[in-house]
């Protein structure tokens, strides 16, 4: 399955949350409600979900897994450096002496 660009998911999720707050603040405003529903529909299409709430949750999980993987890789890199020293690419070459 092809996954959408993370930057686009983050942008659409932010748009959805902004309009969600606006809709909760002005539930009788039909323009705000329509724009909120449009933002939800866009998230649904982007993430392949039928419900805007599910799409928002899926977007948050999708963005969070990237952060977790990044932090895990950073922790592994720090751990390996502490045990074995810096990677060979960071050491000066013997020819450079």
**What does pLDDT average to over the chain?**
82
In the predicted model, residues of the chain with pLDDT beneath 70 are 1, 66-97
State the pLDDT at residue 24: 96
pLDDT, position 65: 81
Which single residue is written with the structure tokens 């990677």? Answer: 87
3-state helix, strand, coil in the chain (%, to 5): 80, 0, 20
Tell me how far CA of residue 35 lies from CA of 13, 38, 97, in angstroms: 13, 5, 65
Q: Which pLDDT value is given to residue 69?
A: 62
**Contact criterion met (CB below 8 Å) for 56 and 44:** no
Q: Which residues contact 58 (CB under 8 A, 6 or more apart)?
A: 47, 49
pLDDT at position 2, please? 78
């Amino acid at each position: 399955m092809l996954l959408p660009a993370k930057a686009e998911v983050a942008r659409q999720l932010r748009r959805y949350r902004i309009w969600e707050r606006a809709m909760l603040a002005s539930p009788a405003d039909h323009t705000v409600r329509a724009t909120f529903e449009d933002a939800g529909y866009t998230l649904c299409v982007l993430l392949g979900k039928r419900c805007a709430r599910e799409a928002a949750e899926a977007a948050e999980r999708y963005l969070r897994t990237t952060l977790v993987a990044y932090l895990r890789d950073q922790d592994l890199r720090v751990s390996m450096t502490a045990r074995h020293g810096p990677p060979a690419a960071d050491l000066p070459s013997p020819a450079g002496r």
